[in-house]
Structure 1
Amino acid sequence: MLVQVALPVPLYRVFDYRLPADTSALPNAISTRMPQIGTRVEVSFGRQTLIGIVVAHLSEADSSVPLNKLKPINKCLDADPILDDSMLTLANWLARYYHYPLGDVLAVILPSLVRQGKPLDLLITHWRILPHITDDDFHANAKKQKQQFDMLKLHGERGASEDVLLLEGMQRSFLKTLEEKGLIERYIESKQAPSPVKLAKMPLDLNTEQQLAVDAIIAAHEAQRYEGFLLNGITGSGKTEVYLQAMQTVLEAGKQVLILVPEIGLTPQTRARFASRFAAHIVLLHSGMNNTHRLQGWQDCRTGHAQIIIGTRSAVLYPFANLGLIVVDEAHDGSYKQQDTLRYHAADVALYRGLQHHIPVVLGTATPSLEHLKLVDDDKLSEYQLLTRPGNAKPAPMQLIDARLQSTHQQSTDDGERYDTGLTDTLIGAIRQTLEAGDQVLIFLNRRGYAPVLLCKACGWQADCPRCDAHLTVHYASQAQQNAYSSHSYLKCHHCDWQAYIPTVCPDCGSQNLDAKGMGTTRLSENLHAIFANPQTSKVLYPIIQIDRDTTRLKDSWEKIYQRINEGKPAILVGTQMVAKGHHFPNVTLVCLPNADRGFLSADFRSPEHTAQLMIQVAGRAGRGDKAGRVLIQTLQPDNELLLKLVKGGYLSFARELLQERKMMGLPPHSYAALIRCEGKTMAATTQALKDAIALLPSNHNLAVLGPIDAPMSKKNSRYHAQLLLLAKDRRQLHHVLSQWWQPVQTLPSAKYLKLTLDVDPVGW
C-alpha cells in the first residue's frame, strides 16, 4: 500500500510515497501501521523536507510512478487524523472552485504551528501565587506589579489559566517578572471539557419581525437541515438579539456556534455582548493572535472545547467538532473577501459549510450586497426583514447640505493666516448644538493621514511614490499626537508602505512654497480642535477622538478608545470606515459626512453600491440610544440621481435599481467573473503573457473576454500589473473553461518569471 500526500507546493497534484521497509527504525514513528487519511507526515521533496497531509491510500498498481522510484515517508506525526472527512471535502471544494492547488489550500486552512509539525496536545499554562508569599514581599514602588498580583490573588490557591488572566487585562510581561522574582509559578494542566452552556442573563422581548426570524432559524436547526437566511435589518433593529435567541436553542442542544465579524476591532465588543448573555467557553479567532493562541483556538474548535467561536474571515476554515449554526454579521462587508493566496469569500464558504453540516446559516446586514439580493430572488436564501427599531427609536433622517450655496468655514492660524476647514457653517453649527446638548458627534471621512497630496505651488511638483502609481500621503503629527500615535511627520505610500521625510523645499525648483492639499482624518481632527477644543474659540473644550489605523495600531488601543467613547461625555469622533461596522455608540446623535461625493465618481462599477453601504452603515450609528438622531451629508452634487435615490428611497430601493442596471449591462451578479492578474518587471512582458493566455482559450468558449488592460494601479511596489477579465452568463460554463485552461496558462513560456493569479468572483477590477 502507498499513501498520497498533499504538499504545500504550487503544483496541481498530490504525490505518492511508500512506507519504509523498517518503520521501527524511524525516529518518532507513531506506529508500524499505515498513516491514516487526514494525518500529517514528514517527507522528502527534492532537496527539502516538507510536512504534508495524507489524502488517500492506494495500491502499487494504482500509482503512475514505479515503486523503486518512490521515496518513503520520513515520519508520521499523528496517531489520529487532525482533519476529518468533512474538512478534506471542504479543502477539495475550495481547490476546485477557486482553482488553487490542494496542498496550498491545506496550508491556508492549517495554523502555522500545525504546518510546522508541532504536537497538538491540549495542555494549557496556569499561574498561581506561591504558598509562602504575602503582600509584604512587594516593594512600595512596584505598584503595577502589586496590581497584577492582587488580580491573580482573587483566583485563590489554584490560580487561573493564562488565557483567562490575559482576558482580564493582565500582561504576560508582568507575569514573567513576578515569576522571576519568585512570587508566582506556572504549571501545566490538561484542558477539561467545558460545562454545559447556561443563560447568564434573560433574553429581551422580541417584536413580531424578530420572532419570525428566530422561529425560522430554530426550525431549520431542529429539522437538521441546511437553510440560508438573509437577515435584512435596518441599523439598530435588533439583529444581534435575533442571533442570541437563535443561538440559545443551538447551544442548549450541545452544539457549537460560529459568529463571523468583518474586523478585528469588533471581536472584543462582540465577545462582551455574547459573554453577558451566556455562561460558555468563548474563543476569539483573528489575525492579531500569536501562533500559540491560534493553535489553541484551532484545537478548541476541533475538539469541541469551544462553544461560541467569534472570529474574522479565516475562522470559517477551522475544523469544528459539532457545529450547529453559523452567523455572518455585516455580511455585505468587503473584508470577508481574501485578497491574496486563496482568494475565497468567507460568506460563500459559510453557506457551503452549512450545506455540508445540514445546519442554518444567517447572513445579517442592514445593507445586503447585490449578490445576496440575487440569491433571495433565486430562492437560494430566505429573507427576513427587520424594519423597526426596538422601543420608540426611529432611524435617523438624512439631510443634504448644498456646499455650493455656502463657502466652507475659515479659521485663522497663530500667524493670522486663514485656512479652509472643509466644513460648512451649517455643519459646524449643528455640531456645536449637539455638543451643547450633551451628546456626541461622529464625523466620517474615509481617508486617513493629514492630506492625500503634497504639492509645490511654484512649479506644480507632487510628492509621488517612487515604487507605485500613487501620491504619497502626508502624515503630520501635531504635538498632542506625537505622544500618542507618532513621533514625527512623514510621507507614506498606503499601497507599498514606502516612507520618506517631508522635504523643506521642492526637489524640482527649490521653492519653499509646499502645500498639503486635501484632507485626511488627522487634518480634520486638527481643524475641529481649533474650533471646539481651543480656549480662544470655544467656551467649553470638547475632546476630539480620532479613530483610524494610525490611532488603533497599538495593542489594546481600540479597546481604550471604545471605553472612552462609552463614558458618554460630549465629544467629537472622527473616523474612517472602522467606525461604520456594527459599533454601538448610544450617545451619538449626529453623524456628519463632509465628503459624500467621492464614491459616486469612481470608475469602479461597484463603487456606488459600496459607497451607499458605507453611508447607510455610518448613518446607522446615530440615534441608537434613547435620543433621536440625524445625519447631515455635505455635498457639491445635491442633484446626483444616485445620492437622491439613496436619501429619499432608502438603501433597498437604491440597491434594487442598481441590480436592474447590472442585469441590463450583463454584469455580476447577473454574470460570473474571473479576473486574471499578471505582474512582472515590465508592462510589455505582463501584457504579452495575458495575450498568449487568450490564445489558449478553447475556440468555443462563449465567454466575454475583456483585456488585457492595465490594472487600476498599473505600477505597485516596483512591479507592473496588467489584468484580464472573463465574464460568463453561466457559472458552470466559466468553471469548465477555467479547469481546462488555467493550468496550461501558468506553464506558458512568456509567463516565466512572472506572477499569475486567478481571482474567482472578484469584488472589483
Structure 2
Amino acid sequence: MLVQVALPVPLYQVFDYSVLVNTNAVLPTIGSRVQVSFGRQTLIGIVVAHIAQVDSSVPASKLKPITQCLDDTPILDEQMLALASWLARYYHYPLGDVLAVMLPTLIRQGKPLDLLITHWRILPHVTDTDFRANANKQKQQFDMLKLHGERGASEEVLLLEGMQRSFLTTLEEKGLIERYIKLKTAPKAVSLAKMPLTLNDEQQLAVDSILSAHRTGQYSGFLLNGITGSGKTEVYLQAMQAVLEAGQQVLILVPEIGLTPQTRARFASRFAAQIVLLHSGMSDTYRLQGWQDCRTGHAQIIIGTRSAVLYPFANLGLIIVDEAHDGSYKQQDSLRYHAADLALYRGMQAKIPVVLGTATPTLEHLKLATDGKLIECQLRTRAGSAKLASMQLIDARLQSTHQQNQDDGARYDTGLTDQLIGAIKQTLEAGEQVLIFLNRRGYAPVLLCEACGWQADCPRCDAHLTVHYSNQSNHNSYLKCHHCDWQAYIPAVCPDCSSQNIAAKGMGTTRLSENLHAIFANPQTSKQLYPIIQIDRDTTRKKDSWEKIYQQINAGKPAILVGTQMVAKGHHFPNVTLVCLPNADRGFLSADFRSPEHTAQLMIQVAGRAGRGDKVGRVLIQTLQPDNPLLLKLVKEGYLPFAQELLQERKMMGLPPYSHAALIRCEGKTLVATTQALKDAIALLPAGHNLAVLGPIDAPMTKKNSRYHAQLLLLAKNRNQLHQVLNHWWQPVLALPSAKYLKLTLDIDPVGW
C-alpha cells in the first residue's frame, strides 16, 4: 500500500509515497502527519488516503519513501478532512495549502502536540495584608490574578489581561504566588456562576427556537437580528447554558482581537467553565495548546476570531457569530474564506444550530432569511429601560464650522459646526460622555503645497502619505503610507518649489483630538477641563493600552472619546449619551457598490454606543448632503428599510446577492503584463459560458508596494454554473505562459472590487 500526502505547496494535487518495507513501520493513519522528501526540501504533510501501488500514476522506481511518521493516531478526523476537501473545492485552493491554513504553526513544523504551558496561582496562605501600604502596583497585579480563583490562569491569559511578567516574577520571589504546569484532566461539568436575567418575549422566543433546534439534533441557521442594546448577548448566554449542561462545546466568533478579553470576562462571569481564547495575538505555544484543548474537549467555551472556525472540536454543540456583518470575518489573503459562511457549513456538517447575531445584517444574510435558508429572530426593543438613541442630521451647508484661535493669533477650522460643539458642551456639563467617530487615523490625510499644488505621495503606492504630527515631539511627526508602511520626514519646504507654504489638509483622529483639546481641555479657553481620549490603532498599539483606555472610560467621568471603527464593535460605554459623526458623506460617495451598505452598518453600530444605560442617547450626523435619499432613509426609517431598498437596487442591477462573483487579481512588475495575462485568461473561457465578464481593469489601487494590480470579475446568476466554469478554467489560467512571473489569485464571494 502507498499513502497519498497533501503537502503545503501551491500545486493542485496530492503526492504518492511508499512505506519502507525493511523497517517495522506501520502504515500511517489517514489524518496523521508525516515527514517526506519533496525535491530538495523536507516537508511536513497530512496523509489523506491509502491506495494500492497498482493504482498510483507514479512508477514504482520513482516512488520515494516516507521519512518519518510523526503521529501514532490521526490529528484530523474524517469530519475535518471533509471540511478541508470542501474548502479546497469551493475556494479552488490547493488541498495542502488549505490544511496548512487550518493547522497552527507548531503543528505544521512537526512539533509534538503535548506542549505544556506555565500557569500561575496564589499560594493558599497569602492574603491582602501581605503587601506593604505603598506597594500599589504589586497589589493591583495580585488582585488581577485573584480574580481567577484558586486555580489561577495561564501566563498567556494573564499577560493578555495586562499583567507584567516582571511583577509575576517579583511576587513569586516574595513567596506570594507560584508557577506550575497544569496537567490536563477531564473538565468539571459546567455550572452557573451567576443567575440568568429575565428575558423579554422577543428574547425568549429566540432562545426557545435555538434550543428547539439543538434538541432535535438538526442543523438550523439563525439570523438574530437585534438592534444595538437589545440583549443579544443574554440570548447567547441562555442558549449556551443548555448546550454546555449537555456536555457539549460552544464556539463564539468575534470580529476583533480587542473584543476577546471583554467577551471572555462576560462569559466567565456567567459560567464556571474552561474558557479558551484563540486569536493571532497569542503565542504559537498557546495556540497549539488551545487547538489541542478544542480537539480533546478540555475547552468548553471557545472565544476566537475568524481562524477559530477552522479548529477541530470534540463535541461542538453550538456556534455563535457575533457582529456577523463585520468585514473582518473575510480573510483577505491565502485561503480567502468567510468565517460566517464557514460557520454555517460547519453547523450543517455537525448538525447543530448556528446563530448569526447582528444589529445590521448583510444583504446576503437578509436574502438567505427571505429565501428560508436562515430563521430570522428579531429583537426590536432595547433591553431593560434603555431607549433607542434619536438620530438628527446637521446641515453643514447652512452653518460655518467652528473657528478656534491658535497661540500665534491665527484662526483655524476645527471641522465641527457650532451646533455640534454646543451639543458636546451641554453633554459634558451634564456629567456624561461624548463619542466622536472619525474613521481616519493620523493627523491629516494629505500634505499639500499651497504655492504650487505639490502633494506628498507614496513612492510605492497610488496613495497620499498620511500626516502623523505631534506638537509635543518632532520625533513623533512623520509621513506614512497606511498601505505599505513607507515612512518619511515631513519636509520643511516644498520639494518642488521650495515654498514654506506646505500645510496638512483634511482631518484625522489626532488632529480632531487636538482641536477638541483646545476647546475643552485648555485652561485658557475652558473653565472645566475634560479629558480627550483618542482610540485608534496608533494609541492602542502597546500591550494592555486598550484595557487601560477601557477602564478610564468605564470610570464614568465626563470625557470626549475620539475613535475610528475600533469603537463601533460591541463595546459597552454606559455613560456615553451623545454620538457625533462629523464626516458622514464619505461612504455614500465611494465607487464601491457595497460602500453604502458598509457605511450604514458602521453608522448604526456607532450610534448604538449612545444611551445604553438608563440615560437617553442621541446621535448627531454632520453632512453636506442632508437630502441624500439613502441617508434620509437610514435616519428616518432605520437600517432594515434602508437595506431593503439596497436589495431592490442590487436585484435590478444583477449584483450580489442576486448573482455570484469570482474576482481574479493579477499582480506584477508592470501594468501591461498583468493586464495581458488577464486578457489571455479571458481567451481560455469555454464557449457559451454564460458568465458576465467585467475587465480586465485596473484595481482600485493600481500600484501598491511597487507592484501593479489589475483585476477581472466573473458574475453568474447560478452558483453551480460559476464553479463548473472555474473547475476547468482556473488551473489552465495559472499555467499560462504570460502568467509565469505574475501572482494570480482567485477570490470567491469577494466583499468588494
Task: Give the aligned residue type for 1:263.
Answer: E
Pick from 62, 65, 71: which aligns with 1:69?
A: 62
Residue in 1 that maps onto 2:600: 612
Deviation at 1:391, TM superposition (A): 2.7
Residue in 1 that maps onto 2:646: 658
Cα deviation code 1:560-617 (max 9, x no counterpart): 1111100010000101111111111111111100010000000100011111111111
The 1:439–1:129 alpha-carbon spacing in structure 2 relative to 1, beyond 3 Å, is closer
Task: Give the aligned residue type for 1:72.
Answer: P
Task: Give the aligned residue type for 1:411.
Answer: Q
Task: Give the aligned residue type for 1:265.
Answer: G
Residue in 2 that maps onto 1:28: none
Note the 1:236-385 alignment, pairs <5 A: 236-385=229-378
Note the 1:86-165 alignment, pairs <5 A: 86-121=79-114, 123-127=116-120, 161-163=154-156, 165=158
Cα deviation code 1:303-322 (max 9, x no counterpart): 11111111111111111110
Deviation at 1:124, TM superposition (A): 3.4
Residue in 2 that maps onto 1:220: 213
Cα deviation code 1:160-191 (max 9, x no counterpart): 65356546653234445677899976443421
The 1:463–1:167 alpha-carbon spacing in structure 2 relative to 1, beyond 3 Å, is closer
Is the Cα contact below 8 Å between 1:6 and 1:54 reproduced in 2? yes
Quote the sequence identity (%): 85
Residue in 2 that maps onto 1:688: 676
In the alignment, the residues of structure 1 paired with residue 144 and residue 404 of structure 2 have an alpha-carbon distance, to the nearest angstrom, of: 49
Query: Are positions 1:591 and 2:579 aligned together?
Result: yes
Is the Cα contact below 8 Å between 1:122 and 1:299 reproduced in 2? no
Give the match's secondary structure for 1:384.
strand
Deviation at 1:340, TM superposition (A): 0.3
In the alignment, the residues of structure 1 paired with residue 257 and residue 575 of structure 2 have an alpha-carbon distance, to the nearest angstrom, of: 23
Residue in 2 that maps onto 1:644: 632
Is the Cα contact below 8 Å between 2:162 and 2:547 reproduced in 1? no
Is the Cα contact below 8 Å between 2:433 and 2:577 reproduced in 1? yes
Pick from 725, 738, 745: which aligns with 1:737?
A: 725
The 1:153–1:711 alpha-carbon spacing in structure 2 relative to 1, beyond 3 Å, is closer
In the alignment, the residues of structure 1 paired with residue 153 and residue 335 of structure 2 have an alpha-carbon distance, to the nearest angstrom, of: 38
The 1:648–1:158 alpha-carbon spacing in structure 2 relative to 1, beyond 3 Å, is closer
Deviation at 1:394, TM superposition (A): 1.7
In the alignment, the residues of structure 1 paired with residue 292 and residue 631 of structure 2 have an alpha-carbon distance, to the nearest angstrom, of: 48
Give the match's secondary structure for 2:685.
coil
Cα deviation code 1:245-303 (max 9, x no counterpart): 10000000000001111111111111111111111111111111111111111111111
Query: Are positions 1:171 and 2:164 aligned together?
Result: yes
Residue in 2 that maps onto 1:705: 693
Residue in 2 that maps onto 1:574: 562
Give the match's secondary structure for 2:65.
coil
Cα deviation code 1:97-142 (max 9, x no counterpart): 0000000000000000010011011633245789999999999999
Give the match's secondary structure for 1:549.
coil
Residue in 2 that maps onto 1:29: none
Deviation at 1:393, TM superposition (A): 2.1
Task: Give the aligned residue type for 1:11.
Answer: L
Is the Cα contact below 8 Å between 2:162 and 2:543 reproduced in 1? no
Residue in 2 that maps onto 1:388: 381
Give the match's secondary structure for 1:451.
coil
Is the Cα contact below 8 Å between 2:117 and 2:285 reproduced in 1? no
Cα deviation code 1:336-386 (max 9, x no counterpart): 000000000000000000000000000011110000011011110000111
Pick from 664, 667, 670: which aligns with 1:676?
A: 664
Pick from 170, 189, 196: which aligns with 1:196?
A: 189
Query: Are positions 1:399 and 2:387 aligned together?
Result: no
Is the Cα contact below 8 Å between 1:123 and 1:191 reproduced in 2? no
In the alignment, the residues of structure 1 paired with residue 235 and residue 453 of structure 2 have an alpha-carbon distance, to the nearest angstrom, of: 56
Task: Give the TM-score taking structure 1 as reference length.
Answer: 0.95
Residue in 2 that maps onto 1:3: 3
CA RMSD in angstroms, aligned pairs only: 2.4
Give the match's secondary structure for 2:64.
coil
Task: Give the aligned residue type for 1:319.
Answer: P
Query: Are positions 1:499 and 2:492 aligned together?
Result: no
Deviation at 1:541, TM superposition (A): 0.3
Pick from 446, 453, 473: which aligns with 2:446?
A: 453
Pick from 555, 559, 565: which aligns with 2:547?
A: 559
Cα deviation code 1:45-65 (max 9, x no counterpart): 000000000001111011111
Give the match's secondary structure for 2:402.
strand
Residue in 2 that maps onto 1:37: 30
Give the match's secondary structure for 1:273.
helix
Note the 1:503-542 alignment, pairs <5 A: 503-542=491-530
Give the match's secondary structure for 1:455.
strand
Pick from 467, 479, 483: which aligns with 2:460?
A: 467
Give the match's secondary structure for 2:667.
strand
Give the match's secondary structure for 2:567.
helix
The 1:390–1:175 alpha-carbon spacing in structure 2 relative to 1, beyond 3 Å, is closer
The alignment of Structure 1 onto Structure 2 pairs a total of residues equal to 753
Give the match's secondary structure for 2:355.
strand
Is the Cα contact below 8 Å between 1:592 and 1:632 reproduced in 2? yes
Which segments of structure 1 move beyond 4 Å, counting only runs of 4 or more? 127-161, 163-169, 176-187
Give the match's secondary structure for 1:610.
helix
Task: Give the aligned residue type for 2:371.
Answer: D
Q: Which runs of 5+ in 1 are unaligned?
A: 25-31
Residue in 2 that maps onto 1:432: 425
Deviation at 1:150, TM superposition (A): 8.6
The 1:192–1:165 alpha-carbon spacing in structure 2 relative to 1, beyond 3 Å, is farther
Residues 151-160 or 316-325, more deviating: 151-160
Task: Give the aligned residue type for 2:108.
Answer: R
Task: Give the aligned residue type for 1:748.
Answer: L
Residue in 2 that maps onto 1:18: 18
Q: Which runs of 5+ in 2 are unaligned?
A: none
Give the match's secondary structure for 1:23.
coil
Task: Give the aligned residue type for 1:8.
Answer: P
Residues 584-593 or 164-173, more deviating: 164-173
In the alignment, the residues of structure 2 paired with residue 185 and residue 639 of structure 1 have an alpha-carbon distance, to the nearest angstrom, of: 65
Give the match's secondary structure for 1:546.
strand
Give the match's secondary structure for 1:231.
strand
Deviation at 1:68, TM superposition (A): 1.9
Residue in 1 that maps onto 2:538: 550
Pick from 472, 477, 482: which aligns with 2:470?
A: 477
Task: Give the aligned residue type for 1:632.
Answer: L
Is the Cα contact below 8 Å between 2:76 and 2:312 reproduced in 1? yes
Is the Cα contact below 8 Å between 1:201 and 1:276 reproduced in 2? yes
In the alignment, the residues of structure 2 paired with residue 415 and residue 191 of structure 1 have an alpha-carbon distance, to the nearest angstrom, of: 67
Residues 133-142 or 634-643, more deviating: 133-142
In the alignment, the residues of structure 2 paired with residue 550 and residue 164 of structure 1 have an alpha-carbon distance, to the nearest angstrom, of: 23
In the alignment, the residues of structure 2 paired with residue 190 and residue 743 of structure 1 have an alpha-carbon distance, to the nearest angstrom, of: 48
Cα deviation code 1:65-108 (max 9, x no counterpart): 11221111011111111111111011000000000000000000
In the alignment, the residues of structure 2 paired with residue 140 and residue 75 of structure 1 have an alpha-carbon distance, to the nearest angstrom, of: 59
Give the match's secondary structure for 1:42.
strand
